Amino acid sequence: MPKLYVVPTPIGNLEDITQRALRILSEVDLILAEDTRTSGILLKHFDIHTRMQSHHKFNEHKTVESLINRILSGEKIALISDAGTPAISDPGFLIVRECRRTGIDVECLPGATAFVPALVASGLPNDRFCFEGFLPQKKGRQTRLKELAEERRTMVFYESPFRLVKTLTQFIETFGADREASVSREISKIHEQTVKGTLFEITEHFKLNEPKGEIVIVVTGYPEKTKNKTEKSDEL
């Protein structure tokens, strides 16, 4: 039966890959990789020699149709990104959607993704949360921030280290300086770090300490309104 395998890869420590992921990457006919040079290091480490082909945001619109035809013709194809789970702030959505439309089964393996450990390690409420990924860099950014100003769920964002201080400053303007937050970087790597505090405290920290590595920002939601203490009880 035609099938596309969506295979998460480690976001840092190579030991985070699963045995199932290694087996599938060894058995398929082709691996679609966001960057074949980056993925080549991973495959070489685990002695996997499967052929690779580039599949990234700049060419996925052009290649999806031919890849669908190859799967329908009997080829087993796996999709990976540079790190983490494909289609989560990475290429992958288009080919998965077309597979579904064409009747091709999609098997997505569980595995590494950056926002889950960052959310759990933050200590902020995680029973309900919204994942925002990367905010728009220019057009629509302020509009989206205004929409999130009264979001009651904990919010999770991805950000570049080069834009972190600017983004935190915008968060202060939108959510307030006293809003509790957490910034995690280099998750699963040697220099993994999580900085917790108010948005003001975290911003000041990274003004003095240049951030490096992949960044996940977790911001607590808009506080629930407290009941008026003078409100009459049901017993009266």
What is the domain-level CATH number for residue 7?
3.40.1010.10
- With respect to residue 233, please indicate whether it lies within any of the assigned structural domains: no
Give yes or no for a contact between 213 and 192, defined as CB atoms under 8 angstroms apart.
Answer: no
Burial of 146 (0-12, 13-18, 19+ CB in 10 A): exposed
Identify the domain boundary among 84, 108, 132: 108
Reported residue count of the chain is 236
Give just the sign of the alpha carbon dihedral 40, 36, 157, 201: positive
Count how many domains the chain has: 2
Do residues 102 and 125 both lie within one domain?
no
In a domain, 50, yes or no: yes
In a domain, 234, yes or no: no
- Quick check: 235 pLDDT over 60? no
Average per-residue pLDDT for the chain? 93
Residue 90 resides in a domain: yes
Whether 236 is covered by a domain: the verdict is: no
Among 49, 74, 108, the domain boundary falls at 108
Instruction: State whether 140 and 70 are in the same domain.
Output: no
> What's the CATH code of the domain at 157?
3.30.950.10
Q: Are residues 119 and 95 in the same domain?
A: no
Do residues 88 and 15 share a domain? Answer: yes
Query: Computed from CA positions of residues 175, 184, 129, 198, in that sequence, does the dihedral angle turn out positive or negative?
Result: negative
Query: pLDDT tens-digit profile of 24-52?
Result: 999 999 999 999 999 999 999 999 999 99
Per the DSSP assignment, residues forming a β-bridge with 58 are none
Return the sign of the alpha-carbon dihedral for residues 190, 36, 113, 21: negative
Percent of the chain whose pLDDT exceeds 90:
88
Say if residue 231's pLDDT is above 50. Answer: no
- In this structure, the answer to whether residues 122 and 33 fall within a common structural domain is no
Average pLDDT (194-220) is: 97
Quote the pTM value. Answer: 0.89
**Residue 85 belongs to what domain range?**
3-108
Residue 96 sits in the same domain as residue 149: no
Query: Distance between CA atoms of 105 and 123, rounded to whole angstroms?
Result: 37
Integer Cα distance of 48 and 39 in angstroms? 11
pLDDT band at 2 (very low <50, low <70, confident <90, very high): confident
**Which of 108, 134, 167 represents a domain boundary (last residue)?**
108
Residue 226 falls inside a structural domain: no
Same domain, 37 and 94: yes
User: What confidence category does residue 196 fall into, taking pLDDT thresholds of 50, 70 and 90?
Assistant: very high
Same domain, 119 and 42: no
Residues 6+ apart with CB under 8 A from 184: 114, 117, 118, 121, 122, 192, 193, 194, 195, 215, 216, 218
Measuring CA to CA, which residue among 100, 219, 76, 85 is closest to residue 154? 219
Tell me if 53 is assigned to some domain.
Answer: yes
Q: Are residues 121 and 204 in the same domain?
A: yes
**Position 191 in a domain:** yes
Closest by Cα among 171, 106, 188, 189 to 132 = 171
Question: Helix (H) and strand (E) counts for the chain?
Answer: 8, 10
